[in-house]
Structure 1
């Protein structure tokens, strides 16, 4: 299995959609998590860049990712919107955050 280079997370109130890519931009993983299972998944993942939109709850999740050895990055929501390729849904948002 290829090593995850970027893990993008679309944050929600109760569910989190993750899109992971390798260093060449190939999709490796696309999953839906709750808060506890997302932190557990990130704990088992090798160090990578974890990217998410800067909105409510993003700073908490960035701190949790940093505690686990990842490099968190927050992106302004208005910069993510142009990269959504198709219909607006949570997995498309997570993929756009990777871009």
Structure 2
């Protein structure tokens, strides 16, 4: 398995969806993450770009994940 360069994170109420892609944009993993495991999961990942749709809680998660060394990008929900 290659090294993850981008993780897409779909925010939800209780269970988040994470999808990791390598430099070739091939999907390397798909994971369901309960809310309480999100920061633990990202702490174990190498620094990469994390993309998520901008919504009510996205700014909170962007700050928390960014403090773990990741580059966070908020994408408009258009």
Question: How high is the TM-score relative to the length of structure 1?
Answer: 0.76
Q: Give SS of 1:36's match.
A: helix
Q: Once the two structures are superposed, what CA deviation does each residue of 1:13-64 show, in whole Å capped at 9, x if it has no partner?
A: 1110001100100101101011221110100000000000000110011001
Structure index of larger Rg: 1
Number of aligned pairs?
Answer: 78
The whole-number CA distance in structure 2 between the counterparts of 1:12 and 1:61 is: 11
The answer for the alignment partner of 1:62 in structure 2 is 62
Structure 1 gap segments, 5+ residues each? 79-99
Cα RMSD (Å) = 0.7
Question: How high is the TM-score relative to the length of structure 2?
Answer: 0.96
The whole-number CA distance in structure 1 between the counterparts of 2:15 and 2:56 is: 13
Q: Which has the higher strand share?
A: 2
The answer for the alignment partner of 2:72 in structure 1 is 72
Q: Would you identify which runs of 4 or more consecutive aligned residues in structure 1 move more than 6 Å?
A: none
Matches within 5 A, 1:1-99: 1-78=1-78
Q: Which has the higher helix share?
A: 1
